[in-house]
Structure 1
Amino acid sequence: MNLKQLSQLLGLSQTTISRALNGYPEVNAETRQRVLQAAKDTGYRPNLTARRLATGKTGSIGLVMPTAPAHQSDMHFGEFLSGLGEEAARHSFHMLIMPADPSNEEDALRWLAGSGNVDGIYLAYMRERDPRIALLKSFNIPFMVHGRSFGADADYPFLDVDNEGAFYDATKLLLQLGHNRIGLLNGPEGLDFTYRRKAGVEKALTEYGLALRADCLRHSAMTDEIGFLNMEELLSQKNPPTAILCASTTLALGAIRSLNQRGLKPGKDVSLIAHDDVLPLLKPHNFSVPLTTTRSSLRAAGIRVAQRLINRISFDEVEPVQELWKAELVVRASTGPAPV
């Protein structure tokens, strides 16, 4: 199926079809949906070279992928990327992924932005006072941030989960259940989301006249093996925490393995709450003891980031659209009253 044949099938001009596929606002929503559905049904894909010549756009979204060990085999990023790629493909956009060592990431962004190979850039793994935001703002290219950067100028487009609010609510639940020794198995230190989650825990504890003990805090990559090792350290203390917050269900999986080896039961001996990114292979309600979570879908976030970035590319949006999603607190059997 080529453009001429699709034009004859729909009874629309080739120009109208091209504009509909590329998101031009002068095509009404009903016609655009009709064209998109027909393109899907017939397997039509626009010629990217022709589109580039006609629109000056490549039909590609670029991102720099850190190659540090903490990010390798990261199922969380993979789930987000599946949503991003799915939505990009729906709009006939391609993904250009550029691996780079974190020490060379800014150079990689400079090359990507100046290469002419991408129409926009997606930015991930946000850090506190992240210099990459100012760098991207200095380029004449649309970009979209997943997450935020504490301490950076707020004038940039982002989609983020209210990590501080989520872990504040989760900690308040534990405090209301009588827990006053609360631990935190957090993600890698220096990333913005881990900073905000720790801040949420500390805020709730402060309201009860308590503090987050240094010996009850761990920062690490979010794997089940590290969750197990960190939980072992916390439970081996003379005065171990009676409740643990985990930055991911993968960490919680390892934490539960530690509890099982010690003959302890989640929700009875030690309460657990984890953040649920809605990973398809780790469903909290299917854990041996259903897991209490703060929940926000990474896949849905990937879809939304792609929509926002493609809108910025297609409609030349200049205002920094910002979205902050509230995570849902889902209470299950892994949380219970503090042991007497």
Structure 2
Amino acid sequence: MNLKDLSLKLGLSPTTVSRALNGYPEVSAATRERVMAAARLYNYQPNTRAIRLATGRAMAVGHVIPVETRHEIVNPIFADFIAGAGETYSKAGYDLILSIVPDGDEARVYREMKSRGNVDGVIVHSPKQDDFRIKLLHEIKMPFVVHGRATGAGHPYSWVDVNNRRAFRRATDFLLDLGHSRIGLVNGLEFMDFAIRRRTGYQEALTARNVGVDCQLMRSIEMTEGLGYQAVREMLALPAPPTAFLLSSMIIALGARRAIDEAGLRIGRDISVIIHDDDLSYMKNGGDVPIFTATRSSVREAGRLAAAMLLETIATPAAAPSNRLLEAELIIGQSTGPAPQRP
């Protein structure tokens, strides 16, 4: 069965059926589900070779990761994003090409992708302030979507991001409401745009409550278990240690928990902890009752949205850039409680 036959059975135009199968956001959920059910019923599979010949497209999307961020490959956050994006690509008959490139070679790789025509578009990961990739991709006319935002970029661009500033302001406010005034922030690397926004939210909440911002209580690290352990251990050794921590990832939290246990403290009683991004497929935050209080966002859903946005950009390159800002939900777990009374 081809696309035209499936369209006739559904009484829909081939364009609508194609967009529903490709996950484009303007197709209603009811129509998409109807089309997907019919595709399963009739075992419809897009003819990728025919699409390539008819459209001149490569039917592939690129993800370029420099070696300097190689830890991102094994990060469950990256894995969930790729899983969500891959679901959308697969439904649309697209392949995913993941390229690990030497540091400083990203520009060359993007230009080669464009000249060879082996991808129809790319998703940009881990944007920095004034990210050079946005200008470059505009120059070479490569369709792209950014996972995150790049403050200071001089060109409009499509992006999907979580509201990091608001999430961390809300989390800090929650700890302040519990009576904590010594709140440690263990953030991601602060040349990354998301980390800058998280620090901003944290500082805004403290300033609004007339709580001083103490540089001793802030760390900017690569988000690994070992560095999370080291950062929390150092802050707990201060003469006036934190009574609460705001941590940028579940992975940092694993190291933080080790440092807190070594100090003979109990999370939720002696120390409060809030983490970010706990909605991960392979690293669950407990069962019915979450272990950690968390600002929750689905990275897998962000992958689906970014992939659908990119496929729409590829299909209609003249369209204006699209933006999608997702809000994180504050989930109350067992890791937070009132600030302990200390001499």
Same fold judged by TM-score > 0.5?
Answer: yes
Contact in 2 for aligned 1:276/1:284 (Cα 8 Å): no
Contact in 2 for aligned 1:267/1:334 (Cα 8 Å): yes
Point out 4+ residue stretches in structure 1 off by more than 3 angstroms.
Answer: 6-12, 16-25, 28-47, 285-289
Structure-2 residue corresponding to 1:61: 61
Structure-2 residue corresponding to 1:248: 249
Shift, 1:17, TM fit: 5.8
How many angstroms apart in 1 are the aligned matches of 2:67 and 2:42?
A: 39
1:1-340 mapped onto 2 (5 Å cutoff): 3=2, 20-21=17-18, 36-41=36-41, 43-68=43-68, 69-153=70-154, 155-286=156-287, 290-340=291-341
Aligned length: 334
Contact in 2 for aligned 1:21/1:36 (Cα 8 Å): no
Contact in 1 for aligned 2:7/2:17 (Cα 8 Å): no
Root-mean-square deviation (CA, aligned residues, Å) is 2.9
How many angstroms apart in 2 are the aligned matches of 1:63 and 1:223?
A: 22
Distance 1:46 1:239, change over 3 A: same
Contact in 2 for aligned 1:182/1:212 (Cα 8 Å): no
How many angstroms apart in 2 are the aligned matches of 1:204 and 1:165?
A: 10
Compute the TM-score of the two structures, normalised by the length of structure 1.
0.88
Q: Aligned AA for 1:78? A: A
Render the CA deviation track for 1:94-113: whole Å, top value 9, x for unaligned.
11122112311122122223
Contact in 2 for aligned 1:22/1:314 (Cα 8 Å): no
Contact in 1 for aligned 2:81/2:299 (Cα 8 Å): yes
Q: Aligned AA for 1:303? A: R
Contact in 2 for aligned 1:17/1:35 (Cα 8 Å): no
How many angstroms apart in 2 are the aligned matches of 1:277 and 1:302?
A: 16
How many angstroms apart in 1 are the aligned matches of 2:31 and 2:306?
A: 24
Shifted more, 164-173 versus 47-56: the winner is: 47-56
Shift, 1:67, TM fit: 2.0
Structure 1 gap ranges (5+): none
Compute the TM-score of the two structures, normalised by the length of structure 2.
0.87
Shift, 1:194, TM fit: 0.7
Identity of aligned residues (%): 37
How many angstroms apart in 1 are the aligned matches of 2:78 and 2:204?
A: 28
Contact in 1 for aligned 2:76/2:283 (Cα 8 Å): no
How many angstroms apart in 2 are the aligned matches of 1:309 and 1:119?
A: 9
